[in-house]
Structures are given as C-alpha cells and as structure tokens.
Amino acid sequence: MTPGLLARAIVVASMIGLTAAAPAQAAPAQTISTDPFSSGQGGQHAAEVEPYAAASGNTIVSGFQVGRFSDSAGGATNIGWATSVDGGQTWSHGLLPSLTVNTVGVTPAGPYSRAVDPGAAYDAKSGTWLIWSVGMKSSPSVHNDSIVVNRSSDGVTWSAPVVISSANEPDKDWVVCDNWAATTTRPASPHYGNCYAVWSNEGQSVRVQMSTSTDGGLTWSPPVGTTSNSSGYNVQPVVQPNGNVVVVLTRGSTTQTQLTAFRSTDGGQTWSDPPVADFATIQAHKAANNLRAFAKPAVTVDPNGKIYTVWQDCRFRTGCSANDILLSTSTDGVTWSAQPTRLPIDPTSSPVDHFLPGIGADPTTSGATARVGLFYYYYSDAPWCVPANTACSLHTGFLSSTDSGATWSSLGSMNTTPMRTFWLPAAGGGGMLGEYFPVVWSGGRAVPVFPLAQAKTTVFNESMSAARFTPPAASAPASSVAPVEAGPAQVGSTVHVGIGNWTGKLPISPYTYQWQRCSGGAGSGCESIASATSATYTVASADACSHLRAVITAHNALGSGASASNTSSKVTGAPCPDRDGDGVLDPYDHCPSTRGPASNSGCPVATPPAKRCRVPRLKGKSLKTAKRKLKAAHCKLGKVRPGKAAQRRLLKKCRKRHRRACRLLVNRQSIRAGRHKARGTKVSVRLTAKPKPR
C-alpha cells in the first residue's frame, strides 16, 4: 500500500475479550464496537447496524454503519470498523478516515455527507483488507453518489477511499476477492488475486454492474453489465476455487422476490445473463412489530465449490404465518437444488418467526465434512407480537453443520435477555438491525458479527457484537434461553408462552407444554393444571391469587430436556379460592374443607396421643434412683415412708447392728411394676436401711 494514501485511524476502543463457547452451549455475545457520535452530528445515536466481515488466519475485519439516519434517504453518519488479530478473542475498533464529513478521532474528514451498505473483504494475494461502502451526498438532495473502498494492510490503519464507480446512483454493493491459492490437492484459481465489485444502479432501473481489480483494490476496471444488461437487486457474489464468480441476486419488477444467479468464467471480463427460469421464489412473511427484516439471500461457498444460499421463507407455514430459513445449493451457479430445504429449527406449528440469516463456510473443510455456520434473528412469540404487545421477544440464533449442510445442530442464542423492537433505530421499513450479517471462520471456530440493542434511555444503545462457536457433537436438547410467558394474568384472559431457544441436534420436535399454577411468584409451590398442554392457556377462576408459568419439554432423536418459563404476576379477576379460610389456596390445600397451616399443606396437625405412666420396678433402688426412673416413665414420686426422723433412726439402728455404714433403699412400692397408669400418676414407696457393700 502506498504510504502517501494512508491516514492513521485512531483506535477508539480498548481490546475486548471473547470467551470460547463450550460444545452444545450458547456463546456469550461480547461488544466489539460502540457508536462514538453525539446527536449533534446527524443520524441516530448510539446505533451501529448492518455489519459484514472477512477473515484470514487469525485476523477478522468487519465494517458496519455507525449512526443510522431515520429519513427515507437512509445511510449512516460514518462507517465503522472492528478488527481482531487473535481469532475474535479481542478487538479494536474505530471509524474510516476521509469518508464522511462526520469524524470522531479520525482525520481528515471526507467528501460524503453519509455512507451506507458497508462490508469487508480480503485480498490474499496482495495482503490487503478492503471495507466497501456507498458514499452519499446531499446536493441537490440526499442520494447515493459513489461506490468506494478503504484499504488497509493490517485492518487498523486505513487509506482514503478509492472510487469504484460514481455513475447512476449505485446501490446494494458487494465486493469479494479470489483467494483460492494452490494447495496440495488443488491448483490455484486462474484468477487468484482478482477482486470483484458488484452493485445495482438505481439510476438505470437497478441495472447490475460489475468491476474488477487486480491490484488489491487500488484501481478498478470500467463497470460492465451482463450480456443483455440485466437488472436485479440484493447482489451477493462468491468465487469458486476454479475461478468462476457466481452472483446470486433477486429480481422482479417491483417485488424482487425471484432468486436467480449469473456468473463470469473469465475473471470478470464478461458476465452471463441470468437464466430465464429462476431457481427459487421467495415467499416471505412480514416480520411483526415494525421490524425492518427484508427477505433477501445470504450466500457462501466451500472449498469444493459448493454454493449455499439461504433466505427467510414462509411456504411451509399455514397461511404464511411465520418464516423458516430455507437452503438451496449449487456446484456451478447454474443448476440448483430442485426444491429448497427447510432447516428444521423447530416445528412448522411453532410460534417462532425466523429472519435475517447470514451464512459462512469454513475454508479449511470441504466435501462431506464441510463445516457451515448460520446466524439468524427470530421472534420466539411471533403470533402475539403485535404493536400493542411491547414485550415481543427478539433474539439471535446460531446453527452449525459439520456435514456440508446435510444435518444441523442448534448452538443457542447469544442474547439471553430478549431485545425489543422499540430499542432499535428507525429506518425505512421499521426498526433496523441490518440487511445482511456475516459468519466467518478463524482457528476452527465460527465467528458471527451482529448488532445487539439494550433498553433505550435518552439515546439508543445498539452496539456491534461478536461471538465464537466451536461446532459441538450432536446432543439432546438443552435450554439456551428460557421460555417467556406473557399475557394478562386475569381470570378469563389468555396467556401464552414462547418456546425460548434450545441447543441440540435438529430437528428438535415436538415441543410439549404443561401449564402450572404456583403459590409463590418465584416459581415455588407449583402444581400442574390438568389438560393445560398447549402454547396458550385461558386463565380460570381456580387460578386467582396464584402465579402461572409453563414448562416446555423439547425432544429430538438423542433425548429430551425441559425448561420452565418465568412466572406471571398474581392472577386477579376473581376471589381467592380458599373454602376453609385457612389462608392456603384450594389448588395447594390438601384438605380444602378443613383448616390447617401451610406448613402441613392446609391440613390440620393431629395432636399426638398423651404418653402414659408405665410404673417401673423400684425395689432395692435408692430414693434418688427411684425419682429418676419414675420421671423417665412419666410417673411421679408419691409419699415416702417412714418420715425423715424415722429414717435417721433406721440408719442408726442398721449401723449399730452391722457395724458399718448403711443406706436407705426402696423396700415396697404402692403400685406394682409394669402397670400402665395415667401420665403423672404418683407412686408411694416405703424405705428400709441396708448396709453398704464392703
């Protein structure tokens, strides 16, 4: 890279650690970048959206929008970058220099008022990192002006932008490089080192354009179209190991719901027209609660040249009620799967809506053992996610395959606390996360990069995040995110529960439900409700003053696992059911018609039978011993004969007669030994004097 073109970007954030995920457990998301702008610099802050990333060895570079604008023109205050040089364990981040007029910690400012549609690529031949974007200008009105790339040799120090094209309002840009060097089992691609930019010209009815660089993005060829100057949108190019470039895109006069592809087999000199027949049609359910979640393809390729295309689609759901993630594959970009495959994340009857997938193949694995990672967002409770319900649960999910997409496992969710759509910055189409999301591989681990939002205060709180996954061995289901119970806790109302998120081998099906009523708000004292075994439950009068929750059990071919939801607030709308008035509600009262304490489950505590006096044998015992034995037998000592004066005379007479010390012992007792008498019965004794043993 020419030193004169470089402008040093100041690293805005410190290094942030990521923890590797244990097998079959969700990886924790870690923040890798935050928006440094304030509201006075245009856009919505703090808000980072729409990342894409590239990886080579232990280095990962991501580009994304920082400070999304809310108006119809869109775009962002600037483009941010986040870079890791240790496989995603720690990150640095900053802003691209010389791009937009808005800068924090970078110099100089650039010519563009906004920027949009960013992403990252790597050219292995020149060792150059590229972050691409569309620079926008505000005169005469806000519009897309130029496709540009900022270049770097280390992912931290970035050049001023290089213009690829500035004609006809370019949009939906993408850059990919041919990094297929020679290996012991495969020759190098004939076009190794080429980088390809693909985009749609809004000013030419979304005509698709391509440009090629052979020097790491420093210079670019004049834009060219397909043979017949085809139109299309949402382009995503990939390069196969044989050097062919395949561009997957959407087309359709207004809907852009047809999936098709075209390619170049000569290093980008010429490009074929898409075939007449599309390889799939997107049938998408609109995500609820004003979320911007456009249906478009995400594409990757493995070292065998197998191309994987995924998108959100509702064709398998009754009435197009929710989206699944569908997969279509090709080995040449011409012939595709006869029918797309539904990834069986959960049953088609589940309340989950999946959308915004991203996919990435491990470049070190291929063939039948190719590893693929898939990221997506989802609503866990889509049927009830309506504008009036502000508690719609928005989550992330991640899948992995270790057999080239033949089977999949769920690795769980990266956000255990659900997001809310009103935490997201506004954009055309609703609250924004992005339109594409990367999954890259480094050191045998999949690393997705994605935005996560937290509760909004005076400003937004949406930052860029990443996680690291090691593909696990197939396992039985285990809860990654607990199910969420929602709905009014009132007699006659209907409550519902989402299934949460589960790790384990797919398909995970069926899910079984059991509603419970609990005496405690923390889930204590819970008992199952008969016949309450669906995702919804109508609150009954017997539930009044109780708390409700649902226990969901998930099943797959390797076993099952169970998880309880949160508990509802105390049910209102009817008197507390307590027929005997003992304070123990009838559902938990084992004796509902008889008063009793809660410590005995509402049943009366039985009085134990009184212990009786069983008269002990006292003859030959000292008076002290007799008292102790009587007490132990629940008896009492009665009259003692003779009296104390007579006792002294007996002892004196005994000593005189036997010429040694004497002692008093019981000679007779008033009640025979072994008799059972009332507790506390008095037993009288008569004493005699006996000489002490020598």
Query: Among the listed ranges 86-95, 257-266, 355-364, 659-668, which one has the minimum average pLDDT value?
Result: 659-668
> What's the pLDDT at 25?
45
> What's the pLDDT at 21?
30
Residue 626 and residue 561 share a domain: no
* Pair 192, 125: CB distance under 8 Å: yes
Does 595 or 437 have the greater pLDDT score?
437
Per-residue HEC secondary structure of 631-666 comes to HHCCCEEEEEECCHHHHHHHHHHHHHHHCCCEEEEE
> What's the pLDDT at 694?
77
Number of H helices, E strands in the chain: 2, 46
> What's the pLDDT at 20?
30
Residue 146 and residue 292 share a domain: yes
Residue 682 located in a structural domain: yes
Query: Among the listed ranges 315-324, 388-397, 612-621, which one has the minimum average pLDDT value?
Result: 388-397
Residue 599 located in a structural domain: no
Residue 174 located in a structural domain: yes
The answer on pLDDT for 6 being more than 80 is no
**pTM score, whole prediction:** 0.83
| CATH number of the domain bearing residue 663 | 3.30.10.20
CB atoms within 10 A of CB 14: 9
Total number of domains constituting the chain: 3
> What's the pLDDT at 19?
30
Longest dimension (CA), the chain: 144
pLDDT (tens digit per residue) in 585-641: 888 888 888 888 888 888 888 877 778 999 999 999 999 999 999 999 999 999 999
pLDDT category, 38, cuts 50, 70, 90? confident
Residue 424 and residue 381 share a domain: yes
The answer on pLDDT for 16 being more than 60 is no
The helix or strand, by DSSP H or E, that contains position 158, with its residue range, turns out to be strand 158-159
Mean pLDDT over the full length of the chain: 91
Residue 507 and residue 403 share a domain: no
Indicate the residue among 523, 556, 575 that finishes a domain.
Answer: 575
What percentage of the chain exceeds 90 in pLDDT?
79
> What's the pLDDT at 390?
60
> What's the pLDDT at 387?
66
For residue 282, the SS3 value is coil
Residue 242 located in a structural domain: yes
| Mean pLDDT of all residues in 502-531 | 93
* Pair 100, 75: CB distance under 8 Å: no
Distance CA 679, CA 329 (A): 90
Q: What type of residue is 622?
A: S
| Mean pLDDT of all residues in 651-663 | 91
CB atoms within 10 A of CB 358: 26
The answer on pLDDT for 5 being more than 90 is no
192: closest CA among 183, 205, 200, 203?
Answer: 183
For residue 542, the SS3 value is helix
Tokens of 382: 């889509």
Residue 382 and residue 349 share a domain: yes
Tokens of 678: 């009332």
> What's the pLDDT at 15?
35
The helix or strand, by DSSP H or E, that contains position 449, with its residue range, turns out to be strand 445-453
Residue 136 and residue 110 share a domain: yes
Tokens of 496: 């519902």
Residue 562 located in a structural domain: yes
Residue 544 and residue 650 share a domain: no
Residue 606 located in a structural domain: no
Distance CA 578, CA 545 (A): 10
Q: Kindly list the strands in the beta sheet with 445-453, ordered across the sheet, starting from the edge strand earlier in the chain.
A: 30-33, 462-466, 445-453, 439-442
pLDDT (tens digit per residue) in 540-592: 999 999 999 999 999 999 999 999 999 999 999 999 998 888 888 888 888 88
Residue 460 and residue 494 share a domain: no
| CATH number of the domain bearing residue 60 | 2.120.10.10
> What's the pLDDT at 581?
86
> What's the pLDDT at 388?
59
> What's the pLDDT at 9?
38
Residue entry with tokens 């005509």: 207
> For the purposes of burial, counting CB atoms within 10 Å of the CB of 345, is it exposed (0-12), middle (13-18) or buried (19 or more)?
buried
The answer on pLDDT for 178 being more than 50 is yes
Tokens of 615: 């008269």
Residue 495 and residue 431 share a domain: no
Residue 484 and residue 451 share a domain: no
Residue 492 located in a structural domain: yes
Indicate the residue among 473, 506, 532 that finishes a domain.
Answer: 473
The answer on pLDDT for 14 being more than 50 is no
Residue 45 located in a structural domain: yes
For residue 239, the SS3 value is strand
pLDDT category, 11, cuts 50, 70, 90? very low
Q: What type of residue is 570?
A: K
Residue 27 and residue 168 share a domain: yes
pLDDT (tens digit per residue) in 451-497: 999 998 778 999 999 999 998 889 999 999 899 888 899 999 999 99
Per-residue HEC secondary structure of 381-421 comes to CHHHCCCCCCCCCEEEEEEEECCCCCCCEEEECCCCCCECH
Write phi, then psi, for 50 (nearest 5 degrees): 55, 75
Indicate the residue among 575, 600, 635 that finishes a domain.
Answer: 575
pLDDT (tens digit per residue) in 136-147: 999 999 999 999
Per 3-state DSSP, the chain is made up of helix, strand and coil in percentages (nearest 5) of 10, 40, 50
In the chain, the N- to C-terminal Cα span, in Å, equals: 116
> What's the pLDDT at 256?
82
Side-chain half-sphere exposure of 165, counting CA atoms within 13 A: 28
> What's the pLDDT at 389?
60
Contacts of 187 (CB under 8 A, 6+ apart): none
Distance CA 67, CA 500 (A): 31
DSSP single-letter state for residue 359: E
DSSP single-letter state for residue 541: G
> What's the pLDDT at 7?
39
Distance CA 424, CA 419 (A): 9
pLDDT category, 281, cuts 50, 70, 90? very high
What range does the domain containing 687 cover? Answer: 615-691
Residue 342 and residue 315 share a domain: yes
> What's the pLDDT at 528?
96
Q: Which of 110-114, 249-253, 519-523 has the highest mean pLDDT?
A: 110-114
Per-position b or e across 438-466, b if 16+ CB within 10 A of its CB: bbbbbbebbbbbbbbbeebeeebbbbbbb
Q: What is each CA distance from 648 to 624, 643, 654, 662, in whole angstroms?
A: 17, 9, 10, 11
